[in-house]
Structure 1
Amino acid sequence: MRRFWLGLAVASALSACGGGNPFNTDNDDDTDTGSDTSTDTDTGSTVPASVAGDVISVNYVSSDDTIFITGIANDDVPYTRNAALDRTGSDGSVYQAYTYQEHSQAPHSTAYFREMEGGYAMVVATGNGPSGYYMSGTHFGSDGSFTAPTDGDGDPLGAVSYAGTYIGLLNVAGSGEDLLPTDAGTDPSLIPSQVAEVTGDVFILADFGTDGAIDGRIYNRTVVDDPGTSVADLELVPTSIGSDGTFEGTVEVGTESVGSYAGVFTGDGATAVAGTVYATDHISDYGSDVIEYGAFVIGQCATTSSHSDCPSDE
C-alpha cells in the first residue's frame, strides 16, 4: 500500500471498443472465485515481486464475466466488465476494462486485461481511500504453450520483432468519469479519485539463439486524462530469456534505473509475448512520488502483429 498522489488532471475522452473474452479459461473446478455460479481459471502463476506489487492472484468467472483479485483491498469482490473504459490501440488491439466501487465514498478500482496466443497480462490500481493510500500491481501468465521460433534448418532465430500497444495506471487522479456520485455536502477530503491511465506502444527484439536475450522500448506514451504532460519513453534493458520463455529485467529512462519489467513468451514459435512493468520517479511533471504499473500483450511481427512499426522486411 502506497500514498496516492492527488494530481489535477485534465479530462479527456478516448473512444471505447468492446471485445471478446480476455482470459484463457480451463474449467478448474477447484478455483475459489468468491462466487458459486461458475468454475473457472485461477491465474495464480508466479510473477516476480519486482512487478507484482500488491497482486497475489487473479480468478475469472466466465458465466458472470467478472474477475476476483487477491491482494488488492476488498479481496473476493467482483470486478465487472466496463467496456466504456476499454482502451483501443492504433493497431486495433483492445485492453478490456473491469472496475469495482462499493459505494460513492469507497475507493474506485480499475483493472485492464488482454490475452493473445495463450498469454495474458493484467494491471490494476485503486484510487485513494479516506486515508490517502492506494494499492496496485500486475499479473501475467500463459498456457505453457511456448516453443522458440526456428529457421528452416530447425535452429533458433535471432532478432525476432514484436510490436503492439501498452496500458499503464498511475497513482495520479484521472478525470473521474466512472466514479459513483457523492451526496451533496460531502467533505472533499472523503471523495475518492479514479486513477489516470497511460497508453503507448511497445517494440521488443528477442534473440532465441545462443544469446537468448530480449530488449525493447515503450514509447508514444500519453496520459489519457492529461495529454499535455510530457511522458518519457521506458527503455527495457537487455536481459536473458529463460528456457521456459520467461524474463525479468530493469527499466530505464535515459541512463537512470526507474523500475522493472517481466513477462513470458507464448505460443508455438513464440508468436506473442505478455509482460508487465513497474516504474517510479519517471514523469518529471508529477514529481518523484509518481508510480506506474503497466501491461503489454503483443504479437510477433512475422506472424501475429499488425502494428505499423513492424519492419517490412522481416
Structure 2
Amino acid sequence: MTRLLSGIAVLALVAACGDGNPFSGTPTDTDGDTTSGAIPETLASDLDSFSYNPTTGTLTVTGVGLDEDALESVYRRAPGLDVPGYVAFTAQDDPLDQHATAYVHDINGTRAGIVVTGGQFGTYNGGGAYARDGAYSPHVVTPDSGEVTYAGDYVGLTNLPSDRTDIAVVPPGTDDALIPAQSAKVTGKIFFNVDFSDNTLKGAIYDRELDLDDSLLPPGDTVLEVADIEFDPTTIDSDGTYFGDVRMRDGTTDIGDYGGIFGGVESEAMAGVVFMEDHLVTSTTAENEYGVWVLGKCGGPEATAAICADVDG
C-alpha cells in the first residue's frame, strides 16, 4: 500500500547459510529452516520481499515501485548512514526517482529490517519484517531465571525529510517540487523485559533523536517533541513470535503495532519491527515511523548493551 506521505511490504531476510536463500517471497513463505511467522500487514505493508546476506553485505529488495509489478533491486551499501548496530543500504534509479533507505541487522540468523522511501509527490512507501533460522528454542526457565532482559540500539525511518546527502545530483534548474526526499531517521535505545515462565513481554524505546531537516518541512510545520515509546504487555506464541500495541509514554494514546520473533539457542536474540503514526508532535504533518531492533539477551553470549551490566539477564 502506498501511503499519503503517510508502508514497504514484507521483507524476506536471508542469513548467510552456505546453500543460499532459506526464506524468500511473501511474509508467510518459508523454505528450508527459516521461520518468520505471518508478519502482520500493518508491519509488512508495501514490499514483496527482500533478502539480506550479512556475510557478503548484500541486500536485494523486491516490489518497491510505482505499480504492482514485482521488480527486484539490489541496494547499495551506504556506510555513511550506518547507526550503531545496524547497516544501511539505499537505492535510487535516477536523480528524479524516489529514494529508498533500508536498515538491517542479523545475530546468528535472527534478523530484521525496514525500508522506507523518502517520499515524492505526496506519497511514500515503507515497511519491515523479521525472521530466524531454525525452530523456536525458548529460554530455559529455572527457579532463579524466568524473567530476562533484551536491550540495545534502535533505529527508525519516517515520512519526514532529512538532508539530501544520499540523493543523486539533480540537473541544474530543477524545480524543488520534483526533487525526491530522503527519509529522516530516528535513533534511540530499546529495552524489553521478558518473562518466559508465563510467556509475556513489555518494553520501551527511549533516548529518541530525530535526524530532521526542518527547512524541508511544509510551511509552518515544526516537530515539537520526539516522545519515548512504550510497548503494551503481550504474549509470546508457541512459535516464538509476538504482536502487540504501542502507546505514548503517557499511557493514553494507541499509536501503532509492534511484532517480532525470538531466535537462537535458548532465545539468545530477539528481533522485531514497529509501525507508529501521529506520535511525533507536529503542527500539520501526519507522521509515520517504521522501526527495527535485533537484540542480544542480557547475560547471554550476544549481549552488547551497556545497561545489561545492571540487570541479571
Considering the TM-score relative to the shorter chain, is it more than 0.5?
A: yes
Match of 1:183 in 2: 171
Post-superposition CA distance 1:198-238 (Å, at most 9, x none): 001100011111x2101000111100236985211111100
TM-score of the superposed pair, with normalisation by structure 1: 0.82
* Candidates 48, 54, 76, aligned match of 2:40: 48
Match of 2:207 in 1: 220
Match of 2:254 in 1: 257
Post-superposition CA distance 1:146-183 (Å, at most 9, x none): 3112245xx79432111101010000110111111111
- Maintained 8 Å contact 2:275/2:288: yes
Match of 1:281 in 2: 278
Match of 2:113 in 1: 122
Superposed displacement of residue 265, structure 1:
0.8
Bigger mean CA offset, 66-75 vs 104-113: 66-75
The 3 A distance-change label for structure 1 pair 133 and 265 is same
Match of 2:294 in 1: 297
Secondary structure of the 1:225 match is: coil
- Maintained 8 Å contact 2:54/2:106: no
Q: Does 1:271 align with 2:268?
A: yes
What is the rounded CA distance, in whole Å, between the counterparts of 2:78 and 2:156 in structure 1? 17
Match of 1:14 in 2: none
Q: Which 5+ residue runs of structure 1 have no aligned equivalent?
A: 6-21, 34-40, 89-93
Match of 1:87 in 2: 83
* Candidates 60, 76, 94, aligned match of 2:72: 76
Equivalences, count: 283
RMSD, aligned α-carbons: 2.8
Match of 1:111 in 2: 102
The 3 A distance-change label for structure 1 pair 30 and 201 is closer
Post-superposition CA distance 1:237-261 (Å, at most 9, x none): 0000011210000001121100000
- Maintained 8 Å contact 2:14/2:53: no
Secondary structure of the 2:111 match is: strand
What is the rounded CA distance, in whole Å, between the counterparts of 2:134 and 2:152 in structure 1? 21
Match of 2:234 in 1: 239
The 3 A distance-change label for structure 1 pair 60 and 163 is closer
What is the rounded CA distance, in whole Å, between the counterparts of 1:305 and 1:189 in structure 2? 46
Match of 2:20 in 1: 28
What is the rounded CA distance, in whole Å, between the counterparts of 2:203 and 2:168 in structure 1? 39
The 3 A distance-change label for structure 1 pair 95 and 307 is same
The 3 A distance-change label for structure 1 pair 194 and 265 is same
Match of 2:30 in 1: none
Secondary structure of the 2:282 match is: helix
Counterpart code for 1:231 = V
Q: Which 5+ residue runs of structure 2 have no aligned equivalent?
A: 7-12, 26-32, 215-222
Query: Identity rate of aligned residues, in percent?
Result: 33
What is the rounded CA distance, in whole Å, between the counterparts of 1:181 and 1:42 in structure 2? 40
Match of 1:196 in 2: 184
